[in-house]
Amino acid sequence: MNWFFASGDAPFFFSEQLQTLSIFPDAWHGQEGFGYSALPMLWIDYPFKLITFLLFQLGFSWFWIDKFWWMLVFFLCIVGAYRLTKSWIGSFVYSINTYILLLFDGGQLGVALAYGFFPFVVLSIMKYVSLDSSLRSAILLALHLGTLMILDLRFAYIAFVFFALFFLYSVKEKRIRSSLTIFVIPFIVIGLNSFWILPNILAKESLQSSTLYESKKSDLSFFSVADVPQALSLLHPNYPDNMFGRVYFFKPEFLLIPILAYSAFFFSRSWYATFFGLLGFLGAFLSKGTREPFGTFYEVLFNYFPGFFLFRDPTKWYVLIALSYAVLIPYFFRRISKNKIGIGFFLLFWLFSLRYVFLGQVNGNISPPSLTEDAVRFKNLLIHDENFGRVLWLPRRDVFGFHSERHPSVSASVMFSESSVLGILRAFDDPETIPLLRSYGVAYIVIPEDIEQNIFLEDYVFHPELRSQLTEKLDAVLALERKKEFSALAVYTLEHVRDRFRIQGERAHAEMIREDTWHVRIGRREHEGVLHVDMSYDPSWRFIVGEQQLSPFRSDMNFMYFILPQGDEDFGVLMYLPSRWVLVGFVMSLFTMFFSIVLLKVKIRL
């Protein structure tokens, strides 16, 4: 068996890549592009890699680890929703809808894990606010919130919004239990996340140079793809093709979902159902983003409300709609149905609304891709090539494209600031392109097979001739040699490329200790020298020679170089300074977890 849930944003690892993982977090990623700070995404990246590393050490291959992660997603969805709603209908609604199915289909593992864990957090919030405000309950809530923050910051933000709304609503309904234990919660939440919070606070220079969380006002309208009927009907706007930017006409059968949910109020208006009904309206209103009505309100929140800049993609608020309907729809059936006929018709309707899944018209992870022979062959080629050389993928890396610290992958958008086939063809018409690629250390150029037919698109339609145009262009470039052993992949090699570490233009021997730490041989120097490091400039890098810590300078190509002093030191250490704070935060997180577990055993009433 060689099929994997590797579509979209889903990760894929060869065994050689799993062997490079560590139990300690890395502060720098050097396997993609020209390297970048790992700090902005450390909250999800490290826990995922840590658990993957532990499973690999226990003897599991990526085939089984891959399945484990997605089984965990749906296990959390089913169990969490059932515990919250006390109903298999509610569990069914929350676990099988267009939002979670497209998260799975598009490989958004971190978001899907947060979605699955969300009901557990909601249950802890409700229990703490209105039933049990003991120290034990506060610690459990803090651990739930802290875990959710690790899975996805945006869902943790939504959980805090839920906390505030439920607290205020409980005050109104006089169903609140106040306690001083509420002050314990933020300390545990922050402590549990210290491994990424601490370095992100202390490494301000690195964060300022990162564009990961850079959001523009113009992006809002582009990402606001859902309208009010779609949001209220729990219909993801990209269903069924799951192709971002392609929104389909509204499917009227989905209107039955909000009708069923809000029909519960014809029979009873308990404070519990009323709260979740209002929550569904709020989720639908926010999920539409800047679309009318009152689209400017979302812009105001995005620009001025603390933390709201995280929601450039408003569809993350769909979780509130799914949660609301998972509560309301079972509530409705409990009051009208004394037999199983109504429930049976509802389940048939729900499956009918998702018919495109069963008809094979949803083509991502629901129809998982299979590992190709050429992908394995190319991986082996790079494994046996011990020289540094970047791999340029045109226009971007395929799902099974191998990359490593020695052979980082680079996309056309990074190299040329252009991702269209026409733009790439123009770039190779320029005689300066090949010398430029050599100076960037590009030793391989690969045109992917595009096994999922989602790379070579025009107006959202696959056009194989676009790939043919690229291969014809590169076949005609004399400096490139095409590797004949590949039948599906088009692999080209480029010689005389520049090495990543150089002193006075000559290759410098460097040994990687971790992705954020290198030992570099610089030799004894009678005069000042220059160490060139062809990785993305980041002011937090330091080159330590003896007692001196040298700061980097930015080159014309946005790489780094260091001015080496005269001296007898033969070796120096290239270190990314935030890695120290990552380790300190890592210890603080472990201590917080241990301290919280101990407190759970202590019987103290506050």
Per-residue pLDDT tens digits for 336-393: 766 677 888 899 999 999 998 888 888 889 989 999 999 999 999 999 999 999 999 9
Q: How many residues does the chain have?
A: 606
Write out the DSSP string of 552-574: PEE-TTS-EEEEEPSBS--EEEE
User: If you average pLDDT over residues 20-40, what whole number do you get?
Assistant: 91
User: If you average pLDDT over residues 510-532, what whole number do you get?
Assistant: 90
Q: Select 501-579's CATH number: 2.60.40, 3.30.70, 3.40.1090, 1.10.3470.
A: 2.60.40
Rounded to whole angstroms, what are the CA distances from 118 to 78, 135, 142, 551? 11, 22, 13, 43
pLDDT at residue 173, rounded to an integer: 76
Write out the DSSP string of 33-84: TT-EESGGGHHHHHHHHHHHHHHHHTT--HHHHHHHHHHHHHHHHHHHHHHH
Residue in 7, 536, 497 with CA at minimum distance from that of residue 243: 7
Exposed/middle/buried for 224, CB within 10 Å: 0-12, 13-18, 19+?
A: buried
Adjacent-strand bridge partners of 502:
507, 532
User: If you average pLDDT over residues 433-453, what whole number do you get?
Assistant: 94
Band (217; pLDDT cuts 50, 70, 90): low
pLDDT in tens, 39-59: 988 988 999 999 999 999 999
C-alpha–C-alpha distance, residues 39 and 204, integer Å: 10
C-alpha–C-alpha distance, residues 177 and 132, integer Å: 7
Q: Write out the residue limits of the CATH 2.60.40 domain(s) in the chain.
A: 501-579
Residues whose CB is less than 8 angstroms from the CB of residue 572 and which lie 6 or more positions away in sequence, other chains included: 519, 520, 522, 531, 543, 544, 545, 564
User: If you average pLDDT over residues 577-600, what whole number do you get?
Assistant: 92
**pTM for the whole structure:** 0.92
Residue 489: both structure tokens together: 């992949």
User: If you average pLDDT over residues 74-86, what whole number do you get?
Assistant: 96
Adjacent-strand bridge partners of 532:
502, 561
Cβ neighbours around 513 below 10 Å, total: 11
- Cis preceding linkage at 240, omega within 30: yes
Write out the DSSP string of 225-284: ---HHHHHTT--TTTTTT-TT--PPP-GGGGHHHHHHHGGGGT---HHHHHHHHHHHHHH
pLDDT in tens, 134-165: 889 999 999 999 999 999 999 999 999 999 99
pLDDT at residue 606, rounded to an integer: 47
The residue type found at 561 is Y
Instruction: Please give the DSSP secondary-structure letter assigned to residue 461.
Output: E
Residue 584: both structure tokens together: 């300190």
pLDDT at residue 261, rounded to an integer: 93
Half-sphere exposure of residue 558, counting CA atoms within 13 Å on the CB side?
9
Between 89 and 295, whose confidence is greater?
A: 89
Residues whose CB is less than 8 angstroms from the CB of residue 508 and which lie 6 or more positions away in sequence, other chains included: 499, 501, 502, 520, 521, 522, 531
Average pLDDT, the chain: 90
Residue in 296, 497, 468 with CA at minimum distance from that of residue 385: 497
Exposed/middle/buried for 197, CB within 10 Å: 0-12, 13-18, 19+?
A: buried
Is residue 578 within 8 Å of 540, Cβ to Cβ? yes
pLDDT at residue 603, rounded to an integer: 58
C-alpha–C-alpha distance, residues 576 and 539, integer Å: 9
